[in-house]
C-alpha cells in the first residue's frame, strides 16, 4: 500500500481498477480520499482498513477509477454558449436533427430563437448539408440557426424572414446565400452571409461574442456543470481576452468555480482580440508568466495561430486535396517572418506558447521558431503545437529535443473522418494526427476535445485515438493508433504536464489532488468498439463529489 498522511478518509472506492496513470500503467484495487488529496491506494483489504465511522465506501463492481480528465485545449465559455441551444455533434442524420429541433421548439414560446451548432455534413447519413426545407416542418413558429463547425450555417424560413433574406437579396461581399434550383434561398449561409442572421439574433451567438460579462459567467457555469458529467475536472481555456479573465476571476472569488482552469491569453494570430496590445502588456508590464495563480485558476500559455482549418482547405501545407490541381492561397493569421522573434520574446519571459497549426508547413514553421528559441536559451517552457495534424520526421525530432508538446484532438477523427475520403489523399489520411509516431519519438502528447469544434465527450476522442475510426466507421489506417493506456495518459497526465502541474494532478499517487472519476465499466482489456459508450458515474474534484449519476 502507498499512503500519504494520517486522517480518516471521507471516501473510499474499492473493488475497482484504479488507474494510477504512472509510467508502468499500474492498476490497483482501491483508493482512499482524505480532504482534497489522495490518501492511499492499495488492495481492498488495505484501503478498507483505513475507513472511519464517517467514511463513505463505494463498491465500484470492477469498474475503472481514473484521474480527473484534463481537457487541455477547449473553449469552455463558448461551449456554454453552445449548450444554450442544440449541440449537433454525434447526431447521425438530418432526420434526427430535424426531430431534435421539433422537440426543442415545442418547449419554446413562438418567436423565440433556437440556436445550435457543431454539425458537419459527413456526420449525416443523408450525406449532405441540411436546408430550411428539413427544418421548417419542425419549426413553423421559431427562427432556427444551426452553425456548421466552420464558416457556414443553416437557417430555417423564420430566421431568413427575420433577417429579411429573400430571393432578391444579393450575396454580401465575402459570402454566399445558398439557393435552390428556383433561385429561392435554401437556408444555407456561407461565410460573411452568416452575419445577415447574426445581426438580428437576440442573444449569445447574435450579439458580439464578447458581450456582457454576466453572459460569459453564465456560459462558463453552464459548461462546467456539463463538463463534470463527462469526468472533466481541469481545462485549458484556449484564447482568452480581459473580459473572460475577469469572468473567471469573479467565479473563483465567489467560490463558484467547480473545476480547475488554466487560461491561455490570446496573442499574435487573433483578430478577435479586444485589445491588440493586451498580451504584450501581460508580458511586458505586469511581470506575469505561465503558471501565475493557484490550483484552481492559473495563467497558462500564450495562444498563437498560424493557419486555418483542414476541411476549409486553409491549412498551410505542401500537398493537394482530392481533386485539386493547385494549392490555393489564403491569408495567414500572423506574419511568419516575425514569428521567431515573438516566440523568443515569450520564451525569454518564462511564457509557454501554444500555436495553432494544421498543415505540415505550419507545423514546421512553429516547431522551428520554438526550437530556435530553446536553443538560444535552453529551458523548460512546455510549449505546445495545437492540433498538429502533419509532422515530418525531422520536425518530430526537434519537438522531442526541445520538449515541444503535441496538443491533439482525436475528437476530430470521431466527428469528421467519415468525410475525409472525399477530401484527403490516402497518404494524408494514414498520416493524419500521428500520435503513434509522436509517442515513439518521445514527444509528449495531450488529448483534448476543443469543444465547440467537437463534442466534449472525452471517450469519443479516446475511441478514435485507439481505433482511428470516425463515428460511421471510416478508418484512417491503424499505423498511428495508440493504446487505451496511452490515450488515458494523454487525457489526464498530459494536460497536467502541459500546465506544469504534474506534481499535483494527473496521476493518482498518494498526496495528489483528489480529482477522481469513477466510470461505468473497466478500461482494462476493454473491447475497442465499446470505448465510445463509456459513461461517467461519479466525478470528484478536490475530494468533493461534483457529479454523481442518479
With the C-alpha atoms ordered 110, 116, 122, 128, is the resulting torsion angle positive or negative?
positive
Least Å distance between CB 388 and Zn ion?
Answer: 12
Q: Cβ of residue 269: shortest distance to Zn ion, in angstroms?
A: 12
Residue with smaller CB distance to Zn ion, 240 or 373: 240
Neighbours of 413 (CB within 10 A): 29
Residue 196 vs 366, nearer CB to Zn ion: 366
Q: Taking the complex as a whole, how short is the minimal distance between the CB of residue 308 and Zn ion, in angstroms?
A: 12
Three-state DSSP class for 187?
Answer: strand
Question: For residues 304 and 482, which CB has a smaller minimum distance to Zn ion in the complex?
Answer: 304
**455: three-class secondary structure by DSSP:** coil
Cβ pair 520, 536 in contact under 8 A: yes
Query: Is the CB of 433 or the CB of 538 nearer to Zn ion?
Result: 433
Name which of 365 and 387 has its Cβ closer to Zn ion. 387
Tell me whether residue 189 or residue 240 sits nearer to Zn ion (CB atom): 240
Q: How far is the CB of 372 from Zn ion (least distance, A)?
A: 25
Per-residue cell: 445 = 502528447
Name the residue nearer to Zn ion (CB basis): 238 or 508. 238
Only one of the segments 203-211, 235-243, 401-409, 454-462 lies at the binding site for Zn ion (rule: CB under 5 A); that segment is 235-243
| 130 vs 300, beta carbon nearer Zn ion | 300
Min. distance of Cβ 84 from Zn ion in angstroms? 19
- Residue 388 gets which letter from DSSP? -
- Identity of the residue, 215 or 384, whose beta carbon is nearer to Zn ion in the bound complex: 384
Q: How many CA atoms are closer than 13 Å to the CA of 100, on its beta-carbon side?
A: 18
Q: Tell me the residue number closest to Zn ion, measured at CB.
A: 450
Q: Output the smallest distance, CB 499 to Zn ion, in A.
A: 16
Of residues 238-297, which lie at the interface with Zn ion (CB under 5 A)? 238
By the 8 A CB rule, do 320 and 359 touch?
A: no
Of 149 and 343, the one with the shorter C-beta distance to Zn ion is: 149
Can you tell me the distance from the alpha carbon of 378 to that of 391, in angstroms, rounded to the nearest whole number? 23
Site for Zn ion in 386-415 (CB under 5 A): none
User: Could you give the count of Cα atoms lying within 13 Å of 159 in the half-sphere of its Cβ?
Assistant: 33
Question: Cβ contacts of residue 402 below 8 Å, gap of 6+?
Answer: 367, 370, 371, 374, 375, 383
Cβ nearer to Zn ion, comparing 116 with 269:
269
Q: Tell me how far apart the alpha carbons of residues 258 and 475 are, in angstroms, rounded to a whole number.
A: 37
Please provide residue 49's backbone torsions phi and psi, each rounded to the nearest 5 degrees. -65, -20
d(CA 454, CA 477): 21
Q: How many CA atoms lie within 13 A of 325 on its CB side?
A: 0
Site string for Zn ion, 193-232 (x = CB under 5 A): ----------------------------------------
Q: Residue 463: is it exposed, middle or buried by C-beta count within 10 angstroms (0-12/13-18/19+)?
A: buried
CB atoms within 10 A of CB 137: 11
- Sites for Zn ion among residues 508-527 (CB under 5 A): none
Per DSSP, which regions of 346-413 are E strands?
Answer: 353-357, 384-387, 405-408
CA–CA dist 295, 203 (Å, integer) = 33
Q: How far is the CB of 453 from Zn ion (least distance, A)?
A: 6
User: Contact between 28 and Zn ion (CB under 5 A)?
Assistant: no
Q: Which is nearer to Zn ion, 47 or 334 (CB)?
A: 334
Q: Do residues 402 and 374 make contact, with C-beta atoms less than 8 angstroms apart? A: yes
Give the nearest distance from C-beta 497 to Zn ion in angstroms: 19
Q: What is the C-alpha end-to-end distance of the chain, expressed in Å? A: 32
Closest approach of Zn ion to the CB of residue 511, in Å? 33
Q: Are 296 and 248 in contact (CB under 8 A)?
A: no
Q: How many residues bind Zn ion (CB under 5 A)?
A: 2
Query: H or E segment at 238?
Result: strand 232-240
> Phi/psi at 71 (nearest 5 deg)?
-80, 90
- Considering only residues 421 to 480 of the shown chain, the ones binding Zn ion according to CB under 5 A are 450
Which residues would be at the binding site for Zn ion (CB under 5 A)?
238, 450
Amino acid at each position: 500500500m502507498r499512503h500519504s498522511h494520517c486522517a480518516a478518509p471521507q471516501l473510499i472506492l474499492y473493488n475497482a481498477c484504479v488507474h494510477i496513470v504512472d509510467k508502468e500503467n499500474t492498476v490497483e484495487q482501491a483508493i482512499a480520499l482524505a480532504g482534497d488529496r489522495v490518501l492511499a491506494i492499495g488492495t481492498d483489504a488495505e484501503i478498507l482498513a483505513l475507513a472511519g465511522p464517517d467514511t463513505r465506501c463505494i463498491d465500484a463492481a470492477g469498474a475503472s477509477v481514473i484521474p480527473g480528465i484534463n481537457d487541455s485545449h477547449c473553449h469552455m465559455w463558448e461551449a456554454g454558449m453552445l449548450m444554450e441551444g442544440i449541440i449537433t455533434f454525434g447526431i447521425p442524420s438530418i432526420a434526427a436533427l430535424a426531430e431534435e429541433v421539433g422537440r426543442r421548439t415545442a418547449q419554446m414560446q413562438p418567436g423565440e430563437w433556437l440556436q445550435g451548432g457543431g454539425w458537419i455534413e459527413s456526420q449525416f447519413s443523408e450525406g449532405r448539408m441540411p436546408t430550411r426545407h428539413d427544418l421548417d416542418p419542425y419549426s413553423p413558429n421559431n427562427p432556427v440557426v444551426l452553425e456548421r463547425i466552420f464558416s457556414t450555417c443553416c437557417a430555417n424560413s423564420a430566421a431568413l424572414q427575420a433577417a429579411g433574406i429573400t430571393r432578391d437579396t444579393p450575396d454580401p461581399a465575402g459570402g454566399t446565400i445558398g439557393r435552390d434550383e428556383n433561385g429561392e434561398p435554401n437556408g444555407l449561409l456561407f461565410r460573411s452571409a452568416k452575419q445577415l442572421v447574426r445581426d438580428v439574433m437576440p442573444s449569445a451567438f447574435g450579439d458580439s461574442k464578447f458581450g456582457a460579462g454576466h453572459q460569459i459567467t453564465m456560459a462558463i457555469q453552464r459548461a462546467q456543470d456539463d463538463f463534470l458529467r463527462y469526468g472533466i475536472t481541469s481545462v485549458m481555456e484556449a484564447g482568452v481576452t480581459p473580459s473572460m479573465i475577469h469572468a473567471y476571476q469573479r467565479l473563483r472569488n465567489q467560490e463558484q468555480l467547480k473545476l480547475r482552469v488554466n487560461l491561455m491569453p490570446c496573442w499574435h494570430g487573433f483578430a478577435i482580440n479586444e485589445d491588440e496590445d493586451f498580451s504584450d502588456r501581460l508580458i511586458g508590464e505586469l511581470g506575469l508568466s505561465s503558471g501565475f495563480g493557484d490550483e484552481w485558476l492559473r495563467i497558462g500559455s500564450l495562444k498563437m495561430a498560424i493557419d486555418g482549418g483542414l476541411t476549409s482547405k486553409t491549412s498551410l501545407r505542401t500537398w493537394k486535396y482530392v481533386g485539386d490541381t493547385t494549392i490555393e492561397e489564403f491569408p495567414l493569421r500572423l506574419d511568419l517572418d516575425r514569428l521567431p522573434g515573438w516566440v523568443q520574446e515569450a520564451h525569454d519571459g518564462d511564457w509557454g506558447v501554444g500555436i495553432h497549426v494544421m498543415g505540415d508547413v505550419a507545423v514546421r514553421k512553429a516547431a522551428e521558431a520554438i526550437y530556435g528559441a530553446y536553443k538560444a536559451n535552453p529551458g523548460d517552457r512546455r510549449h505546445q503545437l495545437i492540433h498538429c495534424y502533419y509532422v515530418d520526421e525531422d520536425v518530430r525530432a526537434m519537438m522531442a529535443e526541445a520538449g515541444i508538446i503535441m496538443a491533439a484532438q482525436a475528437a476530430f477523427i470521431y466527428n469528421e473522418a467519415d468525410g475525409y475520403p472525399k477530401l484527403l489523399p490516402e497518404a494524408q489520411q494514414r498520416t493524419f494526427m500521428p500520435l503513434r509516431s509522436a509517442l515513439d519519438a518521445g514527444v509528449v502528447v495531450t488529448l483534448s476535445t476543443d469543444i465547440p469544434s467537437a463534442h466534449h465527450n472525452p471517450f469519443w476522442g479516446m475511441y478514435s485515438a485507439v481505433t482511428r475510426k470516425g463515428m460511421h466507421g471510416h478508418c484512417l489506417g491503424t499505423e498511428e493508433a495508440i493504446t487505451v493506456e496511452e490515450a488515458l495518459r494523454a487525457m489526464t497526465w498530459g494536460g497536467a504536464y502541459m500546465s506544469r502541474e504534474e506534481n499535483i494532478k494527473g496521476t493518482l499517487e498518494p498526496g495528489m489532488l483528489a480529482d477522481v472519476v469513477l466510470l461505468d465499466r473497466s478500461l482494462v482489456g476493454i473491447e475497442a468498439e465499446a470505448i465510445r459508450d463509456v459513461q461517467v458515474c461519479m466525478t470528484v474534484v478536490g475530494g468533493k463529489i461534483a457529479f454523481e449519476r442518479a
